[in-house]
Structure 1
Amino acid sequence: MSFDPSFMWTAFLSLFKALPTTLFITIISVVAGFVIGTVVALARLYRIPVLAQIASAYVTFVRGTPMLMHLLLIYFGLPILIDSIAGALGSSFTSASIPLLAFACIAFSITAGAYMSEVVRAGILAVDKGQIEAAHAVGMTTPQALRRIVFPQALAVSLPNLSNSVIGMLHGSTLAYTISVIEINAQAQIVAADNWKYFEAYLAAALLFWGLTVLIERASGWLEYRLNSFQRGGAA
């Protein structure tokens, strides 16, 4: 068996077919995870009764268990719940009509939410509490103070860690192949199995992931520069 560089181009063309699925999983899980993480972080920071305890338990459980476990629990557990509810309501809807991609997005959003909640919480805590007190003194409500003063500064502080979370979810999307979702990793396996050129196919997949990671890092660096320039009052 010898290395075939020319086959890597063939593998690249095939892998690009699965690129939209990988990006879709990543974007949905990151956006949904950020929303979940923000809500969880605020519930814990403001010690909202009941919600704070539920949020803490959620973060502890998700961060204490593997990402693959979350995917399998959702894949096998959610259909049981959906079918039970549908049966109780007399509905003809079944979990079999739900696309596999949806299970992957739900599971990864739950995972991202727990990790991003810690990033958001750390960013909010990094903002001086005196600024919130000053906002209250001029008549702002807490939601207004968070939206206008705290969140912009917290985002700038949290951006490097948020970009790491995005990269982590991009790489974690490869686990979707375990429930038969054809993303980049699964497509590489298909190409390799058809041609018995596993090294070339996985090397092409690795280079594609590396390129996507570099793009995320560059975009994060540009956005961080813009945010910091805006806060300093300089021209961006």
Structure 2
Amino acid sequence: MEISFKSKRILVTGAGKGIGRELAKRFASLGAEVVAVSRSKDGLDSLSAEVKTIKSIAVDLADWDATRAAIQSAGPIDCLVNNAAHASLESFLDVKPESIDKSFAVNVKAVINVSQVVAEGMIKRKSGGSIVNISSQASQAALADHTVYCATKGALDMVSRVMALELGPHNIRVNCVNPTVVLTDMGRLGWSKPEKAGPMLAKIPLGRFAEVHEVVDAVVYLLSDKASMINGVTLPIDGGFLAT
């Protein structure tokens, strides 16, 4: 199946590293004009040096007004991937108010904020569009020490469904992908110890964690015209974790 994003402008948040970085590179390789957004200017600079056609915007997505201005400055966007996320891992009894505020600011509020700006432009231009939000298996399965993270991803799933409902009449599709542990550089480091990885792997029928390209492949498909009738889904990329 051949997918092309020629003549498309795609904005990816959290593009300085990990999944977001690989998404930005893949979209560029498929002909898109990519706008990469991240809080880390260093990450964006190295990405732009690696793929010179990628444009970058450095902004803290937790800052509502600064984010809104930054996304508006990006110009018209045809496709959006809300990938940026914050994780604060604490047991339920240790959850602190600042953990709640920071996580919801990035994982939920920023998605709403960025998507509002992008969708308003799509509606004004009557161009339609596609949005993919990066959620998690943690939206549907309770994970120890993930109280706030699970809550934000559960909220993101429902925000995405309402977006699909309300934006669908404007020919704007909105979908989620919900990965298990993904072996980014950080994922490999965080899940390298057998005593931590073992219990999680035991719940995955395929017996392994996800590779970055497996998430990227799914996002590329959902964002593309090949998925033109897919709207409002939450797609697990979890090797069967949620099936058990």
Establish whether TM, by shorter chain, passes 0.5.
no
User: Hey, which of these two has a bigger chunk of strand by percent?
Assistant: 2
Larger Rg: 1
Higher helix share: 1
